[in-house]
Amino acid sequence: MFKRLYIHNFRCLQNLEVPIGDKPSVLLIGKNGTGKSTISHALALLADLARGTNRVGQLVKPGDFAHGRTDELMRFEVDVELSGRIHQYRLTLELPPGFKELRVQSEELLVAGQPIFTREHAQVTLHKASRAAAFLVDWHLIALPIIQEQSESDPLFLFKRWLAHSVIVAPIPSLITEESSGEALWPERDARNLGAWFAGLISHSPRVYTTIDGYLKALWADFWDIQNPLLGAETRSLKVQFRDGQRSLSLPFGALSDGEKCFFLCALVLAANEAYGPIFCFWDEPDSHLAIDEVGHFVMALRRSFESGGQVLMTSHNPETIRRFSDENTLLLSRRNHLEPTRIRSLEEIGVEGDLIEALLRGDVEA
């Protein structure tokens, strides 16, 4: 579970600490351009690190510095609680004059306050029980994906596995079709590989089909089955079957509506939280393709699923979603103009009087 997320000098975010704390579900609200989606991009960057992307230039570009301030360091810091111990990861990037690609200035991972590895520029030091071992790494490569774990109980392995299984999505339903190739351990940001992710989840943990099936049957009274047959050596075609009495209908997944695809994606998120252990999920505007009367069920199903383990962070502009979060669990992002940094505070701290939605419509609430 995320305890702390700090981002500095990345796009519109400067010296920003997201106060997630130990809350299982948190809602981010705020006007367009305040940095809600930028937070998801920072989280996706960290997840890509754990999945093996190690070259800085594949993760961030010089244009990602806030207002072009390349003379300042770019920082990413996370505190995560796993197995009762706090894992702290710090990554600092720089762009020296004349360079076209960012490089690592410093990097470290601490567990329960004890260093697992530290890094200054090119030198990485592994802190083992018996002795410290140092080696050199290209300044343009990040050490976290490179360092080998000793076992599955290694804190480094636990941290990387948890981070790699993070689900960061801002789905574009029109890109999600029935055809897929191979299997995937996690969805792409736009969820276009949903079929491959479904295949990967079922292959990794067949029992989670029950979770997917149960969620969809509670949602759609005529839902019957999901099929994902092979069409060739690698290609599959996802089909959804419906039944009402003696009548039945089989639809290719691409024929479902945008909202129906998002409900299916929600079922996979719930299944992933069960299959991979408690996971972290960031869903950018999960309600954007739903009818008004569908929003409440959708949001509360997500929140309930993560109450017993894991953590979900959402963004929304929808009043129906906002009403389903307490002031304590709602964070407001705001900035006065494009030249000012984003600020963030909980609604509980701001202390909104009267109807929150009306206050937001009037523009009376600022962080």
Q: Residue 255's domain is classified under what CATH number? A: 3.40.50.300
The type of residue at 160 is K
Please determine, for residue 271, whether its predicted confidence score (pLDDT) is greater than 90: yes
pLDDT computed for residue 281 by the predictor: 96
pLDDT tier, 51 (very low <50, low <70, confident <90, very high otherwise):
very high
Please determine, for residue 266, whether its predicted confidence score (pLDDT) is greater than 90: yes
Q: Measured between alpha carbons, how far is 254 from 230 in angstroms, rounded to an integer?
A: 16
pLDDT computed for residue 216 by the predictor: 95
357 part of a folded domain:
no
- Containing 156, the helix (H) or strand (E) segment is helix 155-164
- Containing 157, the helix (H) or strand (E) segment is helix 155-164
β pairing state of 179-181 and 235-237: antiparallel
Phi, psi dihedral angles at 279 (to 5 degrees): -115, 170
Q: Measured between alpha carbons, how far is 137 from 225 in angstroms, rounded to an integer?
A: 50
Same domain, residue pair 190 and 313: yes
Please determine, for residue 155, whether its predicted confidence score (pLDDT) is greater than 80: yes
Same domain, residue pair 5 and 133: yes
Same domain, residue pair 251 and 155: no
Closest CA to 344 of 331, 356, 353, 357: 331
Closest CA to 46 of 142, 115, 121: 142
Any idea what the CATH number is for the domain that residue 101 is in? Answer: 3.40.50
pLDDT tier, 201 (very low <50, low <70, confident <90, very high otherwise):
very high
332 part of a folded domain:
no
225 part of a folded domain:
yes
Q: Measured between alpha carbons, how far is 264 from 272 in angstroms, rounded to an integer?
A: 13
pLDDT computed for residue 68 by the predictor: 92
Q: Measured between alpha carbons, how far is 268 from 187 in angstroms, rounded to an integer?
A: 10
Same domain, residue pair 146 and 67: yes
pLDDT computed for residue 358 by the predictor: 83
142 part of a folded domain:
yes
pLDDT computed for residue 232 by the predictor: 81
What average pLDDT score do residues 59-65 get? 96
Phi, psi dihedral angles at 183 (to 5 degrees): -125, 150
Share of the chain above pLDDT 70, in %: 99
Same domain, residue pair 172 and 279: yes
Q: Render the burial of 250-289: b for 16+ CB within 10 Å, e for the rest.
A: eeebbebeebbbbbbbbbbbbbbbbbbebbbbbbbbbbbb
Q: Measured between alpha carbons, how far is 127 from 124 in angstroms, rounded to an integer?
A: 10
pLDDT computed for residue 59 by the predictor: 96
77 part of a folded domain:
yes
Tokens of 236: 């599959």
pLDDT computed for residue 260 by the predictor: 96
- The pTM for the full model equals 0.93
Please determine, for residue 129, whether its predicted confidence score (pLDDT) is greater than 80: no
pLDDT tier, 239 (very low <50, low <70, confident <90, very high otherwise):
very high
DSSP bridge partners of 106: 92, 120
pLDDT in tens, 319-347: 999 999 999 999 999 998 998 889 999 99
pLDDT tier, 280 (very low <50, low <70, confident <90, very high otherwise):
very high
Same domain, residue pair 143 and 208: no
Last residue of a domain, one of 166, 197, 232: 166
3-state per-residue secondary structure call for the chain:
CEEEEEEECECCECCEEECCCCCCEEEEECCCCCCHHHHHHHHHHHHHHHCCCCEHHHCCCHHHEHHHCCCCCEEEEEEEEECCEEEEEEEEEECCCCCCCCEEEEEEEEECCEEEEEEECCEEEEECCCCEEEEECCCCECCCCCCCCCCCCCHHHHHHHHHHCCEEECCCHHHCCCEEECCCCCCCCCCCCHHHHHHHHHHHCHHHHHHHHHHHHHHCCCEEEEECCECCCCEEECEEEEEECCEEEEEEHHHCCHHHHHHHHHHHHHHHHHHCCCCEEEEECCCCCCCHHHHHHHHHHHHHHHHCCCEEEEECCCHHHHCCCCHHHEEEEECCCCCCCCEEEEHHHHCCCCCHHHHHHHCCCCC
Same domain, residue pair 160 and 181: no
pLDDT computed for residue 242 by the predictor: 97
What average pLDDT score do residues 89-94 get? 98
pLDDT computed for residue 234 by the predictor: 83
What average pLDDT score do residues 47-75 get? 95
Please determine, for residue 367, whether its predicted confidence score (pLDDT) is greater than 80: no
Same domain, residue pair 313 and 173: yes
Same domain, residue pair 185 and 46: no
What average pLDDT score do residues 103-117 get? 96
Domain count of the chain?
2
Same domain, residue pair 181 and 132: no
pLDDT in tens, 208-234: 999 999 999 999 999 999 999 988 888
Q: Which residues span the domain enclosing 91?
A: 1-25+35-166
Closest CA to 95 of 125, 148, 139: 139
355 part of a folded domain:
no
334 part of a folded domain:
no
Q: Measured between alpha carbons, how far is 176 from 187 in angstroms, rounded to an integer?
A: 11
Last residue of a domain, one of 115, 149, 166: 166
350 part of a folded domain:
no
Last residue of a domain, one of 111, 133, 166: 166
Same domain, residue pair 99 and 150: yes
Name the residue with higher pLDDT: 303 or 150.
303
Please determine, for residue 192, whether its predicted confidence score (pLDDT) is greater than 90: yes
Q: Measured between alpha carbons, how far is 256 from 224 in angstroms, rounded to an integer?
A: 15
pLDDT tier, 100 (very low <50, low <70, confident <90, very high otherwise):
very high
Same domain, residue pair 158 and 182: no
pLDDT in tens, 6-50: 999 999 999 999 988 889 999 999 999 999 999 999 999 999 999
